[in-house]
Amino acid sequence: MTDLAIEADGLTKVYGSLTAVDHIHLEVPAGTIFGLLGPNGAGKTTVIKVLTGLSDLTSGEARVAGYDVRRHPMQVKQRIGWVAAEVILDDDFSAWENLWLQAKFQRLSGWQGRAKELLAYFSLEDRQKDKVSTFSTGMRKKLEIALALLHEPQVIFMDEPTIGLDPATRRMLWELITGVNREYGITIFLTSHYIEEADALCSLVGIIDQGRIVALGSPADLKAKVRADFIEIETREAVDEGRLRAVPGVQEVRLQGTTWVLRVTRAEEVLPRLFDTLTPDLIGRINVEKPSLESAYMDLTGKRIDQAGTEGRDYRKFYATVRRARQ
């Protein structure tokens, strides 16, 4: 037996003319929290769909919890849990009934004791008879994680677990995720476009851009790879690129919308020279990025993660619409 929870080799998924996932190679050791980091539309959700057997893969191979996702999808599905980005529960049913349905789908018996313990752990036991439609988003998230844990999975897939949540709920979830991983030794595969989330939670991070994994390593490894600082400048008037390039210490100049992104040796040395070249009244906004997961991402893809990819959906609005539609 292997102690890899997830293995993928040449994993490819093509939708029509769009290659959503392009020859991905991945090895996630059992017991780690793996974060797949990338902008909207980079292919994160598709990777989850293919690894969980929800979508067929176009080519390549993948094994999850020791089973080939193509040949033994049911074996894989018995061993994985899933937490959706948009919180998918049966709103017309109570928390307990949602657990009961999950137990039926997973063909469990004697699950009631564990369900009670999970509800107690997530502080939901007082509300177990209430309809899920009356729950707050944080409670719904917690119930969804309880559902994912009910059948003792080896791997839990979490698609953007904290998207659209307020900071306090997000932190609570971070603690839950690390707790579940630590106490149960469950491998967690999560996707995120929040750099700080990957930094706080993950021991292994893959950066995905346009369907390809462009970097793989621990957050510390990825930061160490970036031996440069980034300076972002917005100017009040148009500035000639040559003028910026001429400043000693500037390695690379890129224009991202209205912002100049300079890759520099050391920001501390370059900044004074920059102020000499550009008079202070010309500078609208300036930002320095020291080596971080964010600067690693900028270095690899040339964009900030929250700017990249397709237009981000307004998730608060999205949740509100879904809620209304359900009522």
Partner 1 sequence: MSNETERPALFTPKSSFPAVPAVVRGVPQGSQFAGLYARELLRTFRNPWVLVITVVQPFMWLAFFGSSFANVPLPNLEALLHIHIQSYLQFLLPGVLSTSMLTVGMFGAMSTIQDKRFGYMKRILLTPTSKTTVYLSKALGSATRGLVQIPVMIVAALAFGVHLEGDPLMWAGWLLSLVFLALGFSCLFLAVTASSTDWQTPGVISNFLMMPLMFASGALFPAANFPSWMATIANWNPVTYAALFGRGVVVNGTANWLYLGYVGIFAGVMMLSGTLVARRYLRVE
Nearest CA to 63 out of 125, 17, 7, 121 is that of 7
The alpha-carbon radius of gyration of the chain (Å, integer) is: 23
Q: Which residues contact 233 (CB under 8 A, 6 or more apart)?
A: 259, 260, 262, 274, 278, 283, 284, 285, 286, 287
114 binds partner 1 (CB under 8 A): yes
For residue 239, the number of C-alpha atoms closer than 13 Å in the C-beta half-sphere is 25
Round to whole Å and give the CA distance between 178 and 136.
22
Q: Annotate each residue in 32-71 with x if it binds partner 1 (CB under 8 A) or - if it does not, as one string.
A: --------------------xxxx----------------
Q: Annotate each residue in 122-161 with x if it binds partner 1 (CB under 8 A) or - if it does not, as one string.
A: -x--------------------------xxx---------
Cβ 324 to partner 1 shortest distance, Å: 12
15 binds partner 1 (CB under 8 A): no
Instruction: Choose, by CB under 8 A, the member of 9, 92, 269, 306 that binds partner 1.
Output: 92
What b-and-e string marks burial along 171-201, b requiring 16 or more CB atoms within 10 Å of the CB?
A: ebbbebbeebbeeeebbbbbbbbbbebbbbb
Instruction: Choose, by CB under 8 A, the member of 3, 16, 136, 168 that binds partner 1.
Output: 168
Cβ 73 to partner 1 shortest distance, Å: 8
- CB distance 64 to 51 below 8 Å: yes
Instruction: Choose, by CB under 8 A, the member of 33, 42, 64, 199 that binds partner 1.
Output: 199
Which positions lie near partner 1, rule CB under 8 A? 52-55, 74-75, 77-78, 80, 82, 84, 86, 88-90, 92-93, 97, 100-111, 113-114, 117-118, 120-121, 123, 150-152, 168, 171-172, 175-176, 179, 183-184, 195-196, 199-200, 292, 294, 322, 325-326
